[in-house]
């Protein structure tokens, strides 16, 4: 297993709509393992494949950050079946360092996806887990959480990110 590089705001891969996964093959299994290690090491509670430069619809989530194996979720092609309610809470992203902002998200979601054995899985989530699902599914649709901010807050966040990462700087 290897720790992968997490790409940052400004990298065009983060803005691409990621491709569906056709089969859970060796390559996907390895990517999933590497993503879990990368997420735990960061440390973070969620990671989407585009954040490690792979434009595929694969996400990993672990609210326990490695403490409880039962909490690890690895899902290919995740999609919402239902989303309801509204809750505003502070959010951050490993690809958007230094920015923490309040974002409105559904309070409860039902997500369908494919697990690593190739079987369909449906997960009901509320609270922080629902928020992380929304955040990671946004990633595979090429959307960063700062896109959900008000125009003013988004402009301020982007200004701050540009200041910290001047044009021409290598990722």
Q: State the residues that interact with Zn ion by CB under 5 A.
A: 93
The answer to whether 136 is a known catalytic residue is: yes
- Kindly tell me which of 61 and 93 has the beta carbon lying closer to Zn ion: 93
- Kindly tell me which of 21 and 132 has the beta carbon lying closer to Zn ion: 132
Considering the complex, what minimum distance in angstroms separates the CB of residue 120 from Zn ion?
25
How far is Cα 98 from Cα 112, in angstroms, rounded to an integer? 32
Concatenating the DSSP letter of every residue in 58-102 gives: EEEE-TTTTS-GGG-EEEEEEEEEEEE--EEEEE--TTSTT--EE
Catalytic residue chosen out of the listed positions 136, 147, 164, 171: 136
How far is Cα 80 from Cα 71, in angstroms, rounded to an integer? 19
How far is Cα 60 from Cα 51, in angstroms, rounded to an integer? 11
- Kindly tell me which of 93 and 114 has the beta carbon lying closer to Zn ion: 93
Tell me the residue number closest to Zn ion, measured at CB: 93
Say if CB 133 and CB 125 are below 8 A apart: yes
Considering the complex, what minimum distance in angstroms separates the CB of residue 119 from Zn ion?
26
Considering the complex, what minimum distance in angstroms separates the CB of residue 139 from Zn ion?
6
Residues marked active site are found at 136
């Amino acid at each position: 297993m290897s720790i992968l590089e997490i790409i940052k705001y400004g990298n065009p891969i983060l803005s691409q709509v990621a491709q569906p996964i056709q089969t859970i093959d060796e390559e996907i299994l390895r990517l999933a393992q590497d993503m879990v290690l990368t997420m735990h090491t960061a440390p973070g509670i969620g990671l989407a494949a585009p954040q490690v430069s792979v434009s595929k619809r694969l996400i990993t989530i672990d609210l326990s950050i490695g403490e409880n194996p039962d909490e690890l979720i690895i899902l290919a092609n995740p999609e919402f079946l239902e989303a309801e309610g509204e809750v505003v809470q502070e959010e951050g992203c490993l690809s958007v360092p230094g920015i923490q902002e309040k974002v409105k998200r559904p309070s409860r979601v039902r997500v369908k996806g494919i697990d690593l054995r190739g079987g369909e899985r449906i997960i009901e989530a509320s609270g922080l887990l629902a928020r992380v699902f929304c955040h990671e599914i946004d990633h595979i649709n090429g959307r960063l959480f700062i896109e959900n901010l008000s125009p003013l807050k988004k402009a301020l966040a982007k200004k701050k990110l540009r200041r910290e990462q001047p044009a021409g700087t290598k990722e």
